[in-house]
A and B are shown apart, each in its own frame.
Chain A
């Protein structure tokens, strides 16, 4: 893949940024997520996290089994605060 390929669409992160971070020594998804916000958008990392994991493997001696997926945080999909507050009328 090219350096300018967008790897995280929600946060608009190009592969180059990810590769630079891995080369700097950020080789876990937890660290990369917190430095770049990769995987923290509305898609909840469904698209980018596995791609990022593969990239870490390519640039380090890690294998996919070595890579820990970040903790899944609730809720499973976005819910409006109004709905959570029990406010049903859509304004």
Chain B
């Protein structure tokens, strides 16, 4: 039977919701409920490219991702689990295709070094030493961080869920939040398709459905969902160490520890929708891009393609805040395609925010920035 009272209800059983639930339970909070309309990690988390990079252009993103990587590196100890999260730190190789792009990398690396992120600028020749198969045509240089990498999003989420359950968190899968009842500007109750849960606190961690869940509490947020397609090839022996990525050429491609290659790109014309169907246009464009950059991929078979939702904000940075309009309504949404890699730190910050502690990182990712026009200018997003 479902509980009908909770200290807090988290809507969304992806990696963000699971990380928040674990961190709250770790602080000693009781009666935590997570609602997931499908199965754990069934939305954006489970469809994502699984990359983890620390090479960002703003201090906040560098710190969020660096601290998160430290948690990924020690996840088994921290969460007390034996499960393999399949962490692979093969680095991220970011390719520049113009002088301007390379100059941006130089700026970013300066910042990254001040925060102890071990990135470095590479010449084309040095990039080719790391990825000998690389077609360097048009490339002006590269940035490389050897400790960036990959982890398995299902396993990571599962590890958080397992540890959170041990600390008493209840996860209700195949249970859909349908409404949030408020009274005098205060959260009162969450209505689900399996019954109501009385609670004074709700967290919106609904990924691609963040706007809809905020609307349940009467709050408009400027997030929009858009499809991002991706494909995976058959498995082969390890031949590509880093994630190869370029903002201007618009591609990311990496070989996962199981041997398959995962790759995708962002379609600038993708409309706002909840569509996660696969298209043949993607297959065609993706195969051209990938085989041009890494010609050996020609002989690899595509096994599967799928798509997931980016939940994008106007500045491609998340909204992490307690609502100023409804007491007890928290949001950890709008991760704009890089939620998985900063989920560990997001969970910690949200738990601190919810329990009223000082934040361990000085971040301000409030909703108000969009109204006031104080957008965060991160130069390095895909």
A58, B192: Cα distance in complex, Å: 31
Q: Given the complex, which residues of B lie within 8 Å of A1, measured CB to CB?
A: none
Contact B278 A87 (CB under 8 A): no
Indicate with 1 or 0, residue by residue over B357-381, a CB within 8 angstroms of chain A CB atoms: 0000000000000000000000000
Closest to B154 in A: A34
Q: 8 Å CB contacts to A: which residues of B254-305?
A: 258, 278, 280, 283-284, 286-288, 290-292, 297-305
Closest to B300 in A: A81
The tally of residues in B whose CB lies under 8 Å from a CB in A reads: 32
A37, B46: Cα distance in complex, Å: 13
Contact B291 A85 (CB under 8 A): yes
B158 on interface, CB distance cutoff 8 Å: yes
The tally of residues in A whose CB lies under 8 Å from a CB in B reads: 23
Contact B39 A82 (CB under 8 A): no
Contact A28 B39 (CB under 8 A): yes
Closest to B298 in A: A82
Q: Determine how close the nearest CB of chain A comes to the CB of B309; give it in whole angstroms.
A: 15
Contact A80 B155 (CB under 8 A): no
Q: Given the complex, which residues of A lie within 8 Å of B291, measured CB to CB?
A: 81-82, 85, 87
B42 on interface, CB distance cutoff 8 Å: yes
B10 on interface, CB distance cutoff 8 Å: no
Q: Given the complex, which residues of B lie within 8 Å of A80, measured CB to CB?
A: 298-302
A28, B297: Cα distance in complex, Å: 34
Q: Given the complex, which residues of B lie within 8 Å of A75, measured CB to CB?
A: 283, 302, 304-305
Q: Determine how close the nearest CB of chain B comes to the CB of A22; give it in whole angstroms.
A: 14
Contact A84 B283 (CB under 8 A): yes
8 Å CB contact of A31 from B39, B300, B304, B306: B39
Q: Given the complex, which residues of A lie within 8 Å of B292, measured CB to CB?
A: 85
B234 on interface, CB distance cutoff 8 Å: yes
B186 on interface, CB distance cutoff 8 Å: no
Contact B154 A74 (CB under 8 A): no
Q: Given the complex, which residues of B lie within 8 Å of A34, measured CB to CB?
A: 41, 46, 154
A29, B291: Cα distance in complex, Å: 33
A32, B234: Cα distance in complex, Å: 20
Closest 8 CB pairs of A and B: A82-B298, A78-B301, A84-B287, A85-B287, A34-B154, A73-B304, A81-B287, A85-B288
Residues of B near any A CB (own CB < 8 A): 39-42, 46, 154-155, 158, 233-235, 258, 278, 280, 283-284, 286-288, 290-292, 297-306
14 residue pairs from A and B, CB less than 8 Å apart? A30-B42, A31-B39, A34-B41, A35-B154, A42-B301, A44-B304, A74-B280, A75-B283, A80-B299, A81-B291, A81-B298, A84-B283, A85-B287, A85-B288
Residues of A near any B CB (own CB < 8 A): 28, 30-31, 34-35, 37, 40-42, 44, 73-75, 78-82, 84-87, 91
- 5 further interface pairs, Cβ-Cβ under 8 Å (given A78-B302, A85-B291, A91-B299): A41-B303, A42-B301, A80-B298, A80-B299, A81-B291
